[in-house]
Copies of this chain bind each other. A is one copy, B any other.
Amino acid sequence: MATTQIIAEPGIPQLVVSREFLAPREVLFRAYIDPDLLRQWPGPRRLTMTIDRFDPRDGGIWRFIHSEGDDADHGSHGVFHGDPSRERIVWTFESEDFPGHVRLETVMFGERGGLTVVRQNTVYQSVEDRDAAVASGMEEGINESMDRLDELLGRLVPVN
């Protein structure tokens, strides 16, 4: 299984996540855009994700809720910028646990041989915001999300 690369350079308000998947780009794109697939992978395994709103088109709003048993729900939301394409998706992201701290995320889908390379670029309003996000344990969430996405693709794309 491929590993997830997470790059957070000191002093730069940016985080770059990349990972290779053994699946066609079209299938990767569907996993990001089809609500029935999307609800299966983002976030750490211990949380359950519910899609409250999801309108993947220019100006459309999304809102997810992550829940863990009786704990408080964790909402997040944002806005699509441009219509999602098989090349890239752009959206903003705001955790409702930290209102007013907004991120701009760009997901790019590249093809390399039979692989699809997903590169997710996030820019933050400040280095402090980026560092706080990293310190909050987001790495666990990113790694588990990418692993769960890989497992989902495995179920969608049988490897002979």
Contact = CB atoms under 8 A, between A and B. Distances in A.
Nearest to A79: B79
A7 B11 CA distance: 15
A21 interface: no
Contacts of A94: 81-82
Contacts of A13: 12-14, 123
A121 interface: yes
A114 interface: no
Contacts of A65: none
A58 B137 CA distance: 28
A130 to B, nearest CB: 10
A123 B13 CA distance: 8
A48 interface: no
Query: How many monomers of this chain does the complex have?
Result: 2
A77 to B, nearest CB: 9
A142 interface: no
Contacts of A90: 100, 102, 125
A59 interface: yes
A99 B90 CA distance: 12
A92 B104 contact: yes
A59 B81 contact: no
A124 interface: yes
